[in-house]
Structure 1
């Protein structure tokens, strides 16, 4: 009996104590690795930008085959792209629209927002027998509607974009001419923001220094009534 008691005391004093120490150390290690895991997850979440899904639809014109992307909203667009779209649409409207009373102002804005060779092409057309002033005079106008803008290349505040437009001939009262159907065109525009102001006041009209380096127009075949 005495031997049993001594054995029990030895177990309690040595083996049981060792097991308790091991259990205590295991708990400490578990707590340490738990904190370390939490900190790792927090670090990853801090370094990973939040991403959102923007819904878009690829639209194909049944007549011309032209494709573009229609977005559910513009929240996913960076401010620089919105800025580019504004200046592209503004330039194309100035260049392709016509109203006798505002023709000189539109002519001046195209000159201000174009580089030399690009403006020379526009000026030669407008001063020719095919120019808007010669053909449309005071009795007709041209309304230019922007359908969409697709970027072919865009980097470091310069690029090339396709601006799809519909041009409608109006009478002097602003009503569509029933004899001339609206026509859809695609303007391919190469641009940058290095077009410095040439005289005082230009920066108020073109504060970003937007400049068009190349401009071509292609008519969409098979498209009528602006569709």
Structure 2
């Protein structure tokens, strides 16, 4: 009997007595562990949310940039085509908006038009100034050709003298090659220095001004900026004409001279090999 009681006692589990203080401590500890686990879950959720928000913002920014880059490709650009009612010549009217146009091209057009006025225009009283300025815009070959032009018997000052003048009107300047070729359409008008005689009955001027249309093809380049003040005031950027050729503008019908009218010598032009 004593042996059975001993075995029973050894088979029973020992129950540890927990005090109220220890139970309270265990409860607080478990609560803190639970709170820490919940805070960790919240922090991880917040980190994932920020990552998703950042990725969404990056996608939005890239989409906006892509739209901005693609918008000019789909933009409709209107062109205004101008037609001369008298000659029928057409050209495209361009503007310089938002500084998007190439100002270098516009400056080259300006100098090309100025060069044509100097070469093709004639006035007895300003001829020397015209020649001097034309030389400042010409390279060595063109300067040599200009000297030959004014030494020939058909030179403007030998034909027109102080009796007639040649006015030049620039109709259009186009860029043929951005690397250095321009085309200038212009009209020359040869008229008497005194303006001619006006006939009230026939409403005409005698002698009648002779109007011709031409196309000048100019090869140019920008060389070193001039160092001399007198040259810099005329050609500040070093615009230099290397070749110059003038042809009749076949696209414009020449006006027919009235019967019995005497033709007036046309303006002479100097050509360079293109």
CA distance, structure 2, for counterparts of residue 124 and residue 50 of structure 1: 55
Alpha-carbon separation, structure 1, partners of 2:162 and 2:76: 50
1:40 deviates by 1.4
Corresponding residue SS for 1:89: helix
Aligned to 1:129: 153
Match of 1:217 in 2: 246
| Superposed counterparts of 1:170-181, under 5 Å | 170-174=191-195, 178-181=207-210
1:194·1:210 contact (CA, 8 Å) conserved in 2?
yes
Separation in 1 of the partners of 2:224 and 2:138?
A: 8
**Alignment match, 1:6:** none
Alpha-carbon spacing, 1:112–1:28, altered in 2? closer, same or farther (3 Å): closer
8 Å Cα contact 2:109-2:174 kept in structure 1: no
CA displacement 1:139-182 (0-9 Å, x = unmatched): 11101011101111113xxx011100000012113468653431
Change (3 A) 1:165 1:201: same
Between structure 1 and structure 2, the one with the greater Rg is 2
- 188 and 207 in structure 1: CA distance in 2 versus 1, 3 angstrom threshold: same
Q: 2:216 aligned with 1:194, yes or no?
A: no
SS at match of 1:201: helix
SS of the equivalent of 1:224 reads coil
Q: How many residue pairs were aligned?
A: 199
Query: Judging changes above 3 Å, is the alpha-carbon distance between structure 1 residues 169 and 49 closer, same or farther for their aligned structure 2 residues?
Result: farther
Aligned partners of 1:166, 1:203: CA distance in 2, in Å?
29
Structure 2: tracts of 5 or more residues without a match: 1-41, 197-204, 256-274
Contact 1:59 1:69 in 2 (8 A): yes
